[in-house]
A and B are shown apart, each in its own frame.
Chain A
Amino acid sequence: MKTWNITTPLTDSITILPTAGDTVYISGIIYTARDTAHKRLIEIMNQKKTLPFELKGQVIFFVGPTPPPPGYEIGSAGPTTSGRMDIFSPKLLDGGLKAMIGKGPRSMQVVESIVKNNALYLIAVGGIGALISKSIKKSTVIAFPELGTEAVRELEVDKLPTIVGIDVKGNDLYKRGPESYLSKIIK
C-alpha cells in the first residue's frame, strides 16, 4: 500500500496513480455537498445554468459539518454515507468531477462512471469528524446558505487523510478488503 500527497484540482495524470487501499492526503480547495445540495446541483445542470463552482478537476466531500466554535474555522467534519449520492454522482463525474470523499460502498453505476471518467472514490473514516477537522484550514459557504449544514462550502484543506475506495480501474476496496481479510484467516 502506497501513500500519495495530491493537490487539487486533479487531472487524469494524477488520478491514474493510486490504487484501491492506498492512502491519499488531499491538499488545496475542495467542495462540500450532501443530499439536498446534490439534488440542486443536478437541477442546475439539467437547466443548463451555471453551477456555483467549476466541476472540472474538482473534489466533492460528502459532509455536513457542525458549526465552528469560537476560535475554529469549522466544527466536526467527517463523511456522511455516500450511497445516498449514488443516483447523482455519475452526472457530476460526466461533468468533470474528479473525486468524491465519503464513506460506505457505491453502486455498480457509480463504479462504472468512475472508470469511464478516470475518477477516484476516496474514503474518509466515519465517526471521527473532530480529528478530520484538524486538516480543514478555511471554510466558506458559496451556495445554498439557507440549507444550513447542507450548504455548499469551499474548503481549503491541508493533508486531509483518505483511503482509496475505488480506483480508475474499478477496483473496489469494499469488496477487496473483506475478501483479503477472509482469505488470510482461512489459510
Chain B
Amino acid sequence: MKTINCRDITKCVKDMCIEANTTITPDVTKKIEDALNTETHPLAKEIIKQILENIVYSKKTKIPLCQDTGVAIIFAEIGQNAVISGGNISEAIQNGVKQGYKDGYLRNSMVFDPAIKRENTNTNTPAIIYWDVVPGDKLTMHFTPKGGGSENMSRIAMLKPTQGEKGIEEFIIETVKIAGGNPCPPIILGIGIGGSFDRCAYLAKKSLLQNLDKKNEDQKLAAWEEHIKDKCNELGIGPMGLGGLNTVLAVNMLWEPCHIASLPVAVNIQCHCARHQTAVLSGKED
C-alpha cells in the first residue's frame, strides 16, 4: 500500500522553513521590481532598491531575509484517500518546524504563555496548522513565516450588511492609513469577507498565499482588488511610510456566504518580505 511517511513530512517542512526564509518567490519579486519602475519619490526608489538587493544577498548567503522569521503557519490540504504512516501527522509537521528553525539558524519568536511569563519556547513551535480535506491521495502543504510587525496592524470588523461595498472599502483604506509606516510597506493586503468572525480572518490569511502573477478567478473580485490597490496608493504613505506611490503591492481577496445579519471583514497585512513555499507529497510503497 502506498503511504506518506511522517519522516518525509518532517523533512519537507524543515526544508520549506529554511527555503522560505531565504527566498522571495518570482511573483513577489516581480511586484517589487514593478514598484521600482513606477516609483517617483527619490527616497522611496532608494528603499525599494535596497529591498531588491537584500533578496539577492539573502539567496546567496542564506542569511534570513528578515530577522523576524515569523510564526510558522502551515495550510495543509490532505487528500481524503491519503494514508499516513510512521507517526502522527501534526507532530511530524511540528518537528519539521523545530528542525528547520534550528538547522536554518532562524529566530525563535514564540512564547509559551502570551500574557504573563512570555517565556520563549526556544523551538519556534507551536506552528499554526490549518487543515483542509480535499479529493485525492496527496498531501499539499503551504508554508508561510508571518512576521509580527505586519500582523500587529491587521484588523477585523463586523460591519452592518447595509454598509456593503462602500463600508468594506472604507474599512480597508482606514486600516492601511492606521498602519502607516509600521508594517514595512509596500505591503500586500489579504482580505477575507463573509463567513463568520473567525472565518473571515482565516480567509484573509489564506488569500495571502495566492500567486501574485495570477488574477483572482472571480472577475468581480479581480476588478475590486485593483480598485482598492489604486485607492490605497493615493494615500502617499509609500515604502517604509516615508512617502511615495507604492504603499500596496497587491490586494488578494476571498469571500464566502454569510449570515443575513452580518458582514464580517478581515484585513491581514503582509509586509514586502512576503515569504511562502508550497510542497506536494505523494504516497510511496513502504
CA–CA, A76 and B63, complex, Å: 6
Known pairs A125-B50, A125-B240, A149-B109; A76 contacts B57 (CB<8 A): no
Known pairs A76-B63, A103-B240, A177-B241; A66 contacts B69 (CB<8 A): yes
B41, B118, B122, B152: the one within 8 Å of A181 (CB): B41
Known pairs A69-B62, A75-B63, A149-B109; A127 contacts B242 (CB<8 A): no
Determine the chain B residues whose CB is within 8 A of the CB of A140 once the complex forms. Answer: none
Contact B54 A105 (CB under 8 A): no
CA–CA, A171 and B211, complex, Å: 40
Which one, B130-138, B177-185, B220-228, is touching chain A? B177-185
Which one, A5-13, A93-101, A114-122, A129-137, is touching chain B? A129-137
Determine the chain A residues whose CB is within 8 A of the CB of B181 once the complex forms. Answer: 103-105, 174
Does A182 sit within 8 A of B, measured CB to CB? yes
Categorize the interface residue count of chain A.
Answer: 35 or more
CA–CA, A64 and B109, complex, Å: 9
Determine the chain A residues whose CB is within 8 A of the CB of B182 once the complex forms. Answer: 81, 83, 103-105
Contact A130 B108 (CB under 8 A): no
Mask, B200-222, CB within 8 Å of A = 1, is 00000000000000000000000
Determine the chain B residues whose CB is within 8 A of the CB of A76 once the complex forms. Answer: 58, 63-67, 69, 107
Known pairs A76-B65, A180-B243, A181-B236; A127 contacts B107 (CB<8 A): no
CA–CA, A105 and B177, complex, Å: 12
Does A72 sit within 8 A of B, measured CB to CB? yes
Contact A177 B67 (CB under 8 A): no
State the A residues within 8 Å of B (CB): 1, 21, 36, 63-69, 72, 75-78, 80-81, 83, 103-105, 123, 125-131, 133-134, 147-150, 163, 173-174, 176-182, 184-185
State the B residues within 8 Å of A (CB): 40-41, 43-44, 47, 50-51, 53-54, 57-58, 61-69, 105-109, 118, 120, 122, 147-149, 152, 180-182, 184, 235-238, 240-245, 271-273
